[in-house]
Amino acid sequence: MSKQNLAGVMGIYENPHILVEAMDQVRKANYRYFDAYTPYPVHGLDAAQGLKRSPLPFITFSAGLTGCILGFYLQYWTSVIDWPLIVGGKPMNSWPAFVPVMFECTILFAGLATVVGMFLLNRLPNQHRKAFDPRLTNDQFALVIEASPGVDEVPSSAQKQSKTYKPFLESEVQEFLRRTGAKEVKSVYTEEWF
């Protein structure tokens, strides 16, 4: 743990209500990078943090549409173009019979894209940033004001340079977090998992 790889300053809070209020203050204080670490999704935290709604539904929808079209095309190409074969006296392009497979392909593509999309947006699997504190997946709620963009940061949202942000000064941030009601404040460092 050298001082060079300072990740930020972490405040640990008694309960999620104080955390949400603290988050609101941190956002208003105009810090550049900050995030909360909680054992379960806390309601109201997204709004306090000023997070936009996840773009994931667009990924899901496009993948679903792709799956539907590919599902139809697979059946059309094999039954009409590659090897036309009359089955049960039906037309070559007997599309109503293709609907179940199209539907299943839609769900398959959309579902897998949702998971892959979520992993990409969250930078998972994450090898390089170890969890700050083991209590944060148990029963403690933390807020971290980060010195640099976190691993979970989506690059596009970090590109906005128009605003001027409050600079990160370790001691000042520590004092600030104490004032927001943190019961414990400490500096955290970037570590690898292995």
Partner 1 sequence: MPSSTGGEQYVADIWVTGGKTLADVNDDIAAPIERFPTKKWWVCFITAILVFSLGAALSTDMFTSGLGVLGLNQPNGWGVFIVNFVFWVGIGHAGTLISAILFLFRQKWRTAINRSAEAMTIFAVTTALIFPVIHTGRPWYAAFWLLPYPNQRHLWVNFRSPLLWDVFAVGTYFTISLVFWFVGLVPDLASIRDRAKNPIRKFIYTVLSLGWRGSNKSWSHYEIAYMLLAGLSTPLVLSVHSVVSFDFAVSNLPGWHTTIFPPYFVAGAVFSGFAMVVTLLVIAREMFNLKNYITLNHLEKMNKIIMATGMMVGYAYSCEFFIAWYSGSSFERFAFINRAFGPYWWAYWIMATCNVMIPQVFWFKKCRTSIPIMFVISLFVNIGMWFERFVIVVTSLHRDFLPSNWRYYVPTFYDWGITLGSFGWFFIWFLIFCRVLPAIAMAEVKGVMAVEGGTSHSPDQNKSEVPAHV
Site for partner 1 in 31-50 (CB under 8 A): 35-42, 45-46, 49
Measured from the CB of residue 140, what is the shortest distance to partner 1 in angstroms?
9
Containing 149, the helix (H) or strand (E) segment is none
Q: What is the 3-state secondary structure (H, E, C) of 36-92?
A: EECCCCCCCHHHHHCCCCCCHHHHHHHHHHHHHHHHHHHHHHHHHHHCCCCCCCCCC
Measured from the CB of residue 123, what is the shortest distance to partner 1 in angstroms?
8
175 binds partner 1 (CB under 8 A): no
For the CA atoms of 45, 50, 54, 58, the dihedral, rounded to the nearest 10 degrees, stands at 150
5 binds partner 1 (CB under 8 A): no
Of residues 53-92, which lie at the interface with partner 1 (CB under 8 A)? Answer: 53-54, 56-57, 60, 64, 74-75, 78-79, 82-83, 87-88, 90
* Binds partner 1 by CB under 8 A, chosen from 126, 172, 178, 179: 126
CB–CB of 33/167 below 8 Å? Answer: no
Piece in contact with partner 1 (CB under 8 A), picked from 3-11, 111-119, 165-173, 174-182: 111-119
